[in-house]
Every structure is written in structure tokens, then in C-alpha cells.
Structure 1
Amino acid sequence: MILNELTLVNFGIYKGEHTVELTPTSKKPIILFGAFNGSGKTTFLDALQLVLYGKTAKTSSRGKGPYEEYLKSLINRDVSPKNGAGLKLTFTTKQNGKKEIIEVSRNWFESSPSNIKEVCEITRDGIFDGTASERWHEFVEEFMPSEISELFFFDGEKIEGLADPLRSSAILRSGIYSLLGINSIESLAKSLTQIEKRKALEITKESGSISIDSEEASAKELNSRKELIGQEKAGIANQLDRLTIEIARTEDEMKISGADLLANRHALQENLEVLKERRKRLTNELLELASGMAPLLLLSKQIAEIRQGLSKASGHNLKSAKAFEDEISTFKQQITLLKELDKVSKDSVFQLFDRRLAQVLAEVSSFSTDIDEAQLPSIDELSGLKKSIESKLKEFEVIENEIDVLNKSLQAVPSEEKVADIVKNLTEKQKEKTKLELKTEVLADEIRSINTQLERITKEITNKLAQIADLETSQIVNQRVLNHAQKAKNTLSKFKDELISKHLISLSDEISKCFQLLHRKSKFGLRFEINKDDFNLLIVKPSGEVVPAKSLSAGERQLLAVAILWALAKSSGKTLPTVIDTPLGRLDGPHRQKLISNYFPKAGSQVLIFSTDEEITNEHYESLKGHIALEYTINYDESTESSVFSKGYFETART
């Protein structure tokens, strides 16, 4: 099914007649709409739903009032209700391998002050089809079953409501039951049960010993109560979706105002005190170094020269040279006393002593001082001292920077009075959400209790029907019908369980693949498994560990909701248009890019995207450009008091 063209006539904010071409090409599936808030994109989406489904359409503005009142509210306010409004959708579909062009025209007007008349007309390949016009609500199920329409028509904000894997079990169950035809199986099983009841009643009229009337009455009462609770639960779910969006917006407002920093002020102050204490300790350590050998670093060059001079003086200083001179004098005296040595020998020895003494005295006079070499710091000691001081100074600089950052953060913390209203608003909304969640849990428990009671009653009815089936009566035909009905029901039940189990595995794999394509971390490695008992989605690490849903970030949960819808749509095997409103929500930059690169171009053969200028920006537009077949901007024209379509996506914003 491919949407070709939609015409709106005096519909909501669209005054007059507006026709929009929607046909994609084989390599360019995207039809891109740009619209500021309030300019009419949600109205356009409602038009698509309404023209297809009429009374059963899932539109944004439909209340609990009568359908006729809703239709009247959709007539443009500047147009007389007697002139009314209308929608016309043309789409192409395949029937038995043959292409067919279908045009759905839905018009309504005020026929009397208290009555709105609606006319639905269908043409197939240009020929009016009266039967399809009268029974379009049945025919449309052939092209796009209403039960799975939410897999293809969704908006980014409603994704928030599906972003909790626990709450996603409802859409998974609905999607699986619709796609696999489980609803038809259950419908057939119910029909068989009705046959069983009818035949059993015929038998009991004769037997009179066994009755299922009380069980039937109890089951009817429980089902009525369950339906009321379900409606209440659905209403709370809508409130929770709205609150989730409002809380997200309030949190954004808190960030802008700085109110979110208020809660961290005490921690910031504690961190500041710790850093100041570290700075004080480091300052003392530096002062201690400065009072020791640190000043000698300024004389490193001179100390090196002194050491060099000492090495040239053979290690002598003035004191050692004097001692050396005294020692030589003593040797001379002792040699003089030796009678065996002649005068020539004595003079030669004395000359050697005098030359060596003169050499030492010359070296000492040129290079040496009275410095003890052991008292001079070594090069290694000075180098180690320098590195230690540099390390402490670097640490001191880091601490100073951190203190500066904390001081700025504390200065940015607003006063409690300034943000009191925002904090109060958020607190109230969070309390309201908690109450609604608790109420939802209570209602869910009540539904589970009713289901338990219904299961018990169903078993009692089944047992009684089995007893009745065993009665030997004259109605052999009825007996055979009962027996065959029970066997057929058992067969259908086994078939349903095996069918679900088989497809849950492939669908779980498809959800995992879609999530990996959307996640910015390509090696994230999470796997998703659908529990066949309650359809809850389990999140499994590569190690096999099951992790709680809350471990995913808000953006990751939103991507998971998209992955679920994408996987269900791919598994449907149907060629249907995908219509997405406000697609990027609160996703961060990398996740947005993944959605744009990996999802939008592959979401289907036709993808209608409705975005504000802050979602699909110039950069994102360039990434999508090669996949866009048509692009429009919806603007509100104050001169005509109507929203209008113009070609190009925010053309002025890009140029």
C-alpha cells in the first residue's frame, strides 16, 4: 500500500482546499514535512487516520463524546457547518498480484442543528464501488488492519509511553497477535466454545443434572468488571504519557534556570572545602621544600662549576694541600738521615717531591676552595628535588582550576526563592506520576485477580462440559459435536502456543538487530528476549546476565521503543506507509544521527516524516537528502487564516 495523494477541504486549520502529492520513488522513500508547532502537522496526521478508519480512527483530538460532535469540531471555524468539511485519500495497493488505485472520499456537514451527516464513497480504478462505500470499515482491514496501524502511525512523544520495556509488553502482545493471526485463532476457539455451550444446553434440557448457568453469569460479570478496569487503566496510561512529557519539559526548564544545581549545592560546597584543605597541605609542603635545599636549585650552574673545579684539583683543597706539604717535609727529613744514600740520589728524590708538591699547590691555587665536596648536593639530588617541586606545582595548579570551577558552579546556583515555582511544579508532577503508577499497579493486580477467577470458572465450565459430553443421551449428533469441538479447541490452543513460541525467537532477534542499528555504540552487545508468558521484554547482556530496564538511559529506552515498532512492522510482511511525527524527541546527537542514517531510509517503502526545524536540522537534512522524494513546509498564513503547504523543507532556514 502506497499513499499517492491527500486532499483536505475546510479541515481544521486548513481552510479551503489543499492537495498534497505523497508518491515516493523506489530509491527515495521519504516524504519530508517541516512544520513549526501549531501550524497543522498533527491535524494532517489526524486526517490520514480519519479518512481511513472513520469512527475507529486513533486521532489526537478525539475525546469521549459522540463521533458526530467530533466531526463537527473538525470543520474550519470560518466555514459554515452546513458547508462542512472533507478528506480524500488516493492510494495504490496490490490485490491478487494486480495493482489497484483506490480513492477514499469522506465528507460531512450539518444536515440539521443537531445532526451531522457523513458520506463515505469509494472508487476503485476510477469506478464507484457501492458495496465498498457501505462497508468500508471492513474493506480497509484488507489494506491496513486497524489493530496494527499503530505500528506504522506513531509520533515521537507517544514513543515516551512505550519506552519502558515493561509497558511495551502490551504493544508486543497486540502486534504479535495481529501479525500471526492469533486473534483469528482465539476467535475460532470462542466460536467453538459457543457451539459447545449451545449443544450442551440442548443436552442438559434432557439431563437437567448439570448446569453452567451460574458460571456463565459469574464470567459475564467478571468480564464486564475487567473491561471497566481496562478502560480506567488505559485512561491512566494516557495521563502517564502526558505527565512523562510534561516532566521532561519541566526538567529541561530546570536545567535552563539552573534549578537542578540547587540539589547539588551542599555536595559542591563539601568538594570545595576538601580542595581547599588539599591546597593548604600542598602549600605547606612547598614551603617546607623552600626552607630546605630548594633555593640551591637557583645555583645549580654554580654548584656544577664548583664540582668540576674540585675534580680538576684531584680532590685536594687548601687543608689537604697543607697536610700534603707537611708529609713531604717529614719524608725529606727521614731521607736526610739515611747514610747509605749519596748526595746525588738524595737530590733526585727531593726534586721529585718538590715537583709533585708544586703541582698540587698550583692546582689548589687555581681551582680549589675550602669546600667539602660531601656537603655539596649531587646532580641526581637536585634533579629529583626539581621534579618533586614541579609535580607539586602542577598538582597545585590543577587544584586551583578545580576550585575555580566549583566557585563558578556555586555562583551559578540560583536562590531557592527564584526557582521555587519550577521545583514545586516538578515535585507535584512527580508525585502525581507516582500516584498514577501505584494506581496502575493496583488495577493490574485486580485484572490479574479477575483473570485468575475467570481461569477457574473456565476450568469449571470445561469440566462440566466434559461431564455433559460423557452423558449417554439420545442426542448422539450433539455429543459428537461436543467431542469434536473440544478436540479442535485443544488443537487450536497447542497450535497457538507453538506458533507464538516459534515467532517470538525471530522477533526477539529482529528487535536486537534493529536496536543495534539505532544505537550509537556499535559494540553495545545487548540482546532482547520476549517472555512467551507475559510478553515482557527481557534485556540480556552478552554474558547472559539479565539487566533491569532502568539500566538503559531515557534515550536508549526511546530507541528501544522505535526498534520494537520497526521490528514488528518488518515482521508483518506488509508493504505499508510509515508515518512518523516529532521523530527525534529528546535523543542526543549521536543517537539522532543513527536514527536518521539507519532507520528513516529503511523504515519502509514510503516514510512520511513530520519534523520541526529543531529536530531535523540542516546537517540532518543533508544526510537524508539522497533518500527524499518530496519535501514540504507547512506554514500558517495569517492573511488567509489557514495553514498552507509549500515545496521545500524550511527553504529559507537552509539558505
Structure 2
Amino acid sequence: MLLRKIVLKDFGAYRGTQTLDLHTHPGKPIVLIGGLNGCGKTTLLDALQLVLYGPRARCSARGNRPYETYLRECINRKADPEEGSSLTLDFSITVEGEKRVYSVTRSWSVSGKSLRERVTVFIDGRWDQVVSAGWADHVEDLLPLEIGSLFFFDGEKIESLADPERASAVIRSAVDSLLGVNTVEQLRTDLQVLQRRKRLSEEDQAVIGQIRQLEARYQQADSEVQAAHGHAGELRVQLDKRLDELKQAEEAFAHEGGELFTQREALRQRRKDAAKHLASTQESLIGLAAGALPLQLLSEQLGAVRKQAAIEQQATESTQVLQTLVGRDQDILDRFGPLLSASDFEALRDYLETDRRQRELTGETERILGLSLDGYAQLAGLEQILANEQQRARELLDLASQQAAEVDALDRQLQGVPTEERIAARQAEQAEALQAVHHAEAVLANAIEAYEASKRRRAAAKAELDAAYERQAAKKFEAEENERINAHCERQRNLLERFKEALLKRHISRLEVAVLESFTRLMRKSGLVRDLRIDTDRGYQLTLTDESGDTVDPGRLSAGERQLLAVSLVWGLARVAGNWLPSVIDTPLGRLDSRHREHLVDRYFPHAGDQVLLLSTDEEIDERLFQRLRPSVAHTYTLVHDDTTFTTTVEPGYWWNSGAEHVA
């Protein structure tokens, strides 16, 4: 499990919305959160537990107050109670082999004298209504409270672990819950409860005969159901065989050209339609040939005709305009002659006469065609008509080619259609296979109906048996059966007891090695403790042995050494459990000298797990220790408290790297 983000909205001293990114990376497992005393470090630790466990959370600030009172007091004093407070925690966890991302929001608000609390859960970005409604039970499956509380440590809990006598209870709780021993004990308790429920009085023996008869009837009905189910299964296999045979017959029918045979009438109709369309296209081509289109063969002659027509049309126009020009020329000479000199007058008269003679010559051109005005117009439009007719002819020829190709293709398909005599045997095989399939389906349907009927009889027998059990509920159950159950439960309880002892011994051995190894790494006196034992027969008492084999009196340990021993217990438990939970430690260095602090900073915090949240004052992890810890830090934050408004805000960075939330 890895925490990803926590958002506090108007919670305790935290005013407004305060967000802490808790993502860590390989080699950088630490999120360092600094704050002076009274700035809200413990409040942040309480928020982590409250958002998960609600009324069962072991919050340090709650004390013996009712849960509703505690929630009211957690609303920031400057916030509107009707708006209330909320906590949101995002975390990832592996569930049934798949990584899932949870976002849990616990919010509450006050309306009059009542307080309303809501829990909303998103899984992989989708709201889950069922999990939201049953979060209190669901979180126990993900992270039981007894296990989770072991990894949320404040200074007070570390102090309690530092006392060997008080540590015994914590060790017992950790071993039982974190390492699964309590599960075995719960099984033994459940078996004992079952034994008590199964004890009968002598008067209950009279009903055993009746119940045994009903049980026998039910068993017989159940046997019939199983037999009918097996018979139906065999018939399904036979039906599958018939279907395979039908498929083979259909494939053989198709291989012989059966599909073409069944489609022969459709092919014939398609061939008839295609031939009809081809004939229609050919008729259209014949119609074009009967019109102006053949004139396209005389394109050169038509060109000569159009040229001659143009000459004749020009001659006609010249003849028509000649008489008009005679009057016009005389009028010009009369009007402008007096204004010209003799030479200019002669030149103008010669020009006009020459123009008239040329027009006379043009008008004398031989009229070979002798067309009328309409004839000239028709001759001019003939070229466009022939172009249109030629384009239409090309289109019809292309269409006729396609239609002829379609007719040829259909002819080839029709030639490939097998004869009725050739396909008859395959048709018979196909029909026989189809009939066999229908028969197998009918037989299977009858078998299924028989199976359903046997199930109904079994259900009736079961209902009668259940009714007999219910009628005798006040004075039953079967003595012989209960005696067997009691004997079996007793054997299993003894087996579980031995299993518990073996499991406990194995876990304790691993835990002793892990705690001793952790303590040795953290201590500056390497020879102070040589061996460490946890005595389960004496209430999980912790015993230390020095180099001489003598027991080390805890009183000989300094306060700092006892605190390191407590940290070693936490570290050892995490290592034995597989480091699958984050460690959240508040004021971790309170009673340690500088050398022990260095050991903790160098040897424990960077290796305590995949994620370690440290809540520290500036005197615990000072500038020197921060520089030593910095390579393993993923994020840093400082809790800044405003004494005038009594509110706390989260600022990125630590005291000696202000403004840098992410530490490179």
C-alpha cells in the first residue's frame, strides 16, 4: 500500500484546502513534513487515521469524547459549520493481484443540532456506491485497524514501545494481527462456538428417523437429477456429431456445385435480364445509326460543304449590300467633294469604285449549294449534333460491352451447373443428415425436459426436507451428526492449536532476527547486545543478551537506546510483514542524542519501507541531518502556523530548502 495524496479542508487548525503530494519513488521513500510544536503534525497523523477508520480511528486528540462531538470540534473555528470539513486520501493497493487506486473522502457538516457524515469512495477513478456505503467493512479487508495502527506512530507510542514491559502488549498485538496468528485463533474460537451449537438433548433423537427418510428421498431425487444431466450431456455430444455430419454433407453438396444448382433458376433469370438489357442497348445503337451519325464518315466532305456555304453566304450578302453602297458612295462624293482638292477627290472616287467592283465580283460567285437562310443555320448546327451523337454512341458501345461480358459470365456459370441426376445423391445425403439433426434435437429437448422435471422433484424433496428441519428447529439437530461434527471440531481445534504454535514459533524466530539486526544497525555500541529473544510463554517478554551471555537489564539502556529498541521493533515487524505498508512517524528523534539521530537518519529512515512519512520539528531533523537525509527525500513540506488567526497552512519545502516541494 502506498499513499498518493491527502487533502485537508477546514480540518482542525488547517484552514481552507491544504494538499500534500505523498508520491514516493524508488530510492526516495521519504516525505519529510516539518512543523514546530503545536503547528498540526499530530493533527495530520490523526487525519490519516480518521479518513480511513472514522469512529474507530485511534486519534490522539479525541480522548474519551463521543465521536460526533469530536467531529464537531475538528471543524476549523473560522469555517462555516454548515459547510463543514472533509478529508480526502488517495492511495494505491494491490487487491487480488491487481493494483487499484482508491480515493476516499470523509466529510461532515453541522445543520442545526444534527451532524451529517458522508463517505465517498472512488476506485480507479469511478465512484463505487456499494463500497462507499460499506466502507467500514471494506477497509477491514484492505487494511485492518489493528494492522494499520501499528504503522501510525507518534512520539507517545514510541515511548510506550521503549518500555520493555509495555512493549510486550504491542508485540503480541502486532504478531497476532500483522502476521496472521489471530486468524488461526479466531478459527479455533469459531469451531468451539460450532461445537456448542451442535449439542442435543435426548428428546431430539426421536425426529432423526423422519429426517433421515426425507434425506434419503432427497438424495434419490438428486441422483436422478445427476443421471438426467449426464444423459442430456451425452445427447448433446450426439447432436454435435449430427451437426458435423450435416456440415460435411453441405460441404460435399457445395463441392459438387450444389449452390449453383439451387441458384440455377435465379441464374437463368439474371441471364435473361442481361440479354434483354443488351438487346435494348443494341437497338439504341441501331437508332443512332439510322440518324445523322453516319454523316460522321463524311467529315472531310462536310467541311468542304461548310466552307462553300460560307462563300455563297458572303456573296449573297455582298449582292444585297451593293445597291445600298452605290447611293451611299454618291452621297459621300456630293457632301465632301467640294471640301477636297481635285487629287484627293479623284483618290476617294477611285477607292469607292474599286470597293464596289470587288463586291460585284464576290456577288458573281457561282451558287453551287443555293441554300436558304434556314439551310445555312442547319448546316452550322450539324457539327454539334454529330459530336453529341458520337459521344452517345461511345457510351452505348461501352454499356453493350459490359452487358455482353455479363451475359458471357452468366453463360459460363450456367454451363457449370451440374445436372439434376449428378446432384441428386448429394441432395439425398444432405436431407438425411438434416433429418438426423432434427431427430437428435428432438431427443435432446425431451432429455432436457426430463432433466428439468427431475430438478423440480428434487426441489420439492428439498423443500419438504427443509420444512421438516424448520418444524424441528426448536429441538434438533441429529445427535449422530452432531457428535461427528463435535469430534471433528475437536480434532481441528487441536490441529489449529499445533499450527498456531508452529506459525508463532516461525514468525517469532524471524521477528527476533529482524529486530536484532535492526537494533544492531542503529546502535553505536556494536557489542552492547548480542542476542534478542521474545518469550511467548512469558507474555511476549523481550529479553536482551550481551556478549557474555548475560541478560541485559533494560535499566542499563539509556532513554535514547530504549527508543532505538522501539524503532527496531517497528522496523523488524515491517520487514517480517514484507514492508507492504507505509510508516508514519511523528517526532521520531525526541529523546536521542546526536549520534543516535545520525544512525536513525542514515540507517533506518531511508530503508524503513517503500514509503516513510516523517513529522519533525526543526530541532529533531535540523539542517545538518536534513542534508544527510536529503538524497532519500521525495517531498518536503513545512506546517506554518499563524498565531493571530490560529490556523495552519502547508507550504512546500523544509526550513532549509524553502519553496521546493519535490527534492531532486
TM-score, normalization by structure 1: 0.57
Which residue in 2 is equivalent to 1:538? 543
DSSP 3-state at the match of 1:651: coil
Q: Counterpart amino acid of 1:621?
A: F
Taking the aligned partners of 1:183 and 1:565, their CA distance within structure 2 comes to: 19
Taking the aligned partners of 1:152 and 1:474, their CA distance within structure 2 comes to: 49
1:248-290 alpha-carbon deviations (Å, 9 max, x no partner): xxxxxxxxxxxxxxxxxxxxxxxxxxxxxxxxxxxxxxxxxxx
Taking the aligned partners of 1:607 and 1:100, their CA distance within structure 2 comes to: 20
Which residue in 2 is equivalent to 1:183? 182
- Greater mean deviation of Cα atoms: 485-494 or 90-99: 90-99
1:595-624 alpha-carbon deviations (Å, 9 max, x no partner): 111001011111110111111011100100
Taking the aligned partners of 1:621 and 1:68, their CA distance within structure 2 comes to: 40
Q: Does structure 2 conserve the Cα–Cα contact (< 8 Å) formed by 1:101 and 1:125?
A: yes
Q: Does structure 2 conserve the Cα–Cα contact (< 8 Å) formed by 1:157 and 1:582?
A: no
Structure 2 residue 555 is the aligned partner of structure 1 residue 550: yes
Q: Counterpart amino acid of 1:557?
A: R
DSSP 3-state at the match of 2:580: coil
Taking the aligned partners of 1:652 and 1:576, their CA distance within structure 2 comes to: 28
Q: Counterpart amino acid of 1:170?
A: A
Which residue in 2 is equivalent to 1:94? 94
1:76-128 alpha-carbon deviations (Å, 9 max, x no partner): 11123221110011111222333211100100011331x21110010001111
Which residue in 2 is equivalent to 1:131? 130
The offset of 1:572, in angstroms, is 1.2
- Greater mean deviation of Cα atoms: 161-170 or 616-625: 161-170
Taking the aligned partners of 1:474 and 1:165, their CA distance within structure 2 comes to: 52
Which residue in 1 is equivalent to 2:629? 624
Which residue in 2 is equivalent to 1:496? 500
The offset of 1:641, in angstroms, is 4.4
The offset of 1:504, in angstroms, is 1.1
The 5-angstrom pairing of residues 342-361 of structure 1 reads: none
DSSP 3-state at the match of 2:164: coil
Taking the aligned partners of 1:12 and 1:90, their CA distance within structure 2 comes to: 20
The offset of 1:571, in angstroms, is 1.0
The 5-angstrom pairing of residues 295-444 of structure 1 reads: none
The offset of 1:542, in angstroms, is 2.6
Q: Counterpart amino acid of 2:153?
A: F
Which residue in 1 is equivalent to 2:442? none
- Greater mean deviation of Cα atoms: 621-630 or 14-23: 14-23
Structure 2 residue 649 is the aligned partner of structure 1 residue 644: yes
Q: Counterpart amino acid of 1:73?
A: E
Structure 2 residue 50 is the aligned partner of structure 1 residue 45: no
The offset of 1:24, in angstroms, is 1.0
Taking the aligned partners of 1:650 and 1:7, their CA distance within structure 2 comes to: 22
Pair 1:137–1:204, CA change in 2 (3 A): farther
Which residue in 1 is equivalent to 2:160? 161
Taking the aligned partners of 1:620 and 1:174, their CA distance within structure 2 comes to: 33
Q: Percent identical across equivalent pairs? A: 43
Which residue in 1 is equivalent to 2:169? 170
Which residue in 2 is equivalent to 1:561? 566
The number of equivalent residue pairs is 389
Pair 1:651–1:551, CA change in 2 (3 A): closer
DSSP 3-state at the match of 2:532: strand
Taking the aligned partners of 2:509 and 2:151, their CA distance within structure 1 comes to: 22
Unaligned 5+ runs, structure 1: 208-472
Which residue in 2 is equivalent to 1:510? 514
Taking the aligned partners of 2:591 and 2:46, their CA distance within structure 1 comes to: 23
DSSP 3-state at the match of 1:200: coil
Taking the aligned partners of 2:138 and 2:590, their CA distance within structure 1 comes to: 35
The offset of 1:162, in angstroms, is 1.5
Which residue in 2 is equivalent to 1:340? none
The offset of 1:500, in angstroms, is 0.6
Q: Does structure 2 conserve the Cα–Cα contact (< 8 Å) formed by 1:151 and 1:566?
A: no
Which residue in 1 is equivalent to 2:145? 146
Q: Counterpart amino acid of 1:592?
A: R
The 5-angstrom pairing of residues 439-458 of structure 1 reads: none
1:559-596 alpha-carbon deviations (Å, 9 max, x no partner): 11110111011111242111111010111111111111
Q: Does structure 2 conserve the Cα–Cα contact (< 8 Å) formed by 1:151 and 1:569?
A: no
1:210-260 alpha-carbon deviations (Å, 9 max, x no partner): xxxxxxxxxxxxxxxxxxxxxxxxxxxxxxxxxxxxxxxxxxxxxxxxxxx
1:394-426 alpha-carbon deviations (Å, 9 max, x no partner): xxxxxxxxxxxxxxxxxxxxxxxxxxxxxxxxx
- Structure label with greater radius of gyration: 2
Which residue in 2 is equivalent to 1:595? 600
Pair 1:652–1:484, CA change in 2 (3 A): closer
Taking the aligned partners of 1:47 and 1:654, their CA distance within structure 2 comes to: 24
Taking the aligned partners of 1:495 and 1:203, their CA distance within structure 2 comes to: 35
Taking the aligned partners of 1:652 and 1:528, their CA distance within structure 2 comes to: 41
- Greater mean deviation of Cα atoms: 563-572 or 525-534: 525-534
Pair 1:506–1:474, CA change in 2 (3 A): closer
The match for 2:616 among 608, 611, 627 is 611
Q: Does structure 1 conserve the Cα–Cα contact (< 8 Å) formed by 2:582 and 2:613?
A: yes
DSSP 3-state at the match of 1:71: helix
What's the C-alpha RMSD, in Å, of the aligned pairs?
2.1
The offset of 1:5, in angstroms, is 0.8
1:11-63 alpha-carbon deviations (Å, 9 max, x no partner): 01011111111111111111111101111111111111101111111111112
Pair 1:654–1:595, CA change in 2 (3 A): farther
The match for 2:588 among 576, 583, 586 is 583
DSSP 3-state at the match of 1:605: coil
The match for 2:482 among 463, 470, 478 is 478
The offset of 1:496, in angstroms, is 0.5
Which residue in 2 is equivalent to 1:14? 14
Q: Counterpart amino acid of 1:87?
A: L
The offset of 1:474, in angstroms, is 7.0
The offset of 1:152, in angstroms, is 1.2
DSSP 3-state at the match of 1:529: strand
The offset of 1:186, in angstroms, is 1.4
Q: Does structure 2 conserve the Cα–Cα contact (< 8 Å) formed by 1:203 and 1:478?
A: no
Pair 1:608–1:487, CA change in 2 (3 A): same
The offset of 1:508, in angstroms, is 0.6
Q: Counterpart amino acid of 1:36?
A: L
Taking the aligned partners of 2:587 and 2:131, their CA distance within structure 1 comes to: 34
DSSP 3-state at the match of 2:199: helix
Taking the aligned partners of 2:202 and 2:112, their CA distance within structure 1 comes to: 54
TM-score, normalization by structure 2: 0.56
The 5-angstrom pairing of residues 286-297 of structure 1 reads: none
Taking the aligned partners of 2:78 and 2:485, their CA distance within structure 1 comes to: 63
Structure 2 residue 29 is the aligned partner of structure 1 residue 29: yes
The offset of 1:202, in angstroms, is 4.5
Q: Does structure 2 conserve the Cα–Cα contact (< 8 Å) formed by 1:636 and 1:642?
A: yes
Give 4+ residue runs of structure 1 displaced > 4 Å after superposition: 201-207, 638-641, 652-655
The offset of 1:205, in angstroms, is 6.8
DSSP 3-state at the match of 1:100: strand
1:466-520 alpha-carbon deviations (Å, 9 max, x no partner): xxxxxxx972111111111111111111111111112211111111000001101
Which residue in 2 is equivalent to 1:332? none
The offset of 1:169, in angstroms, is 0.8
The offset of 1:141, in angstroms, is 2.5
Taking the aligned partners of 1:19 and 1:503, their CA distance within structure 2 comes to: 39
Unaligned 5+ runs, structure 2: 207-476
The match for 1:522 among 517, 520, 526 is 526
Q: Counterpart amino acid of 2:67?
A: Y
Taking the aligned partners of 1:640 and 1:206, their CA distance within structure 2 comes to: 77
Q: Does structure 1 conserve the Cα–Cα contact (< 8 Å) formed by 2:106 and 2:118?
A: yes
1:437-459 alpha-carbon deviations (Å, 9 max, x no partner): xxxxxxxxxxxxxxxxxxxxxxx
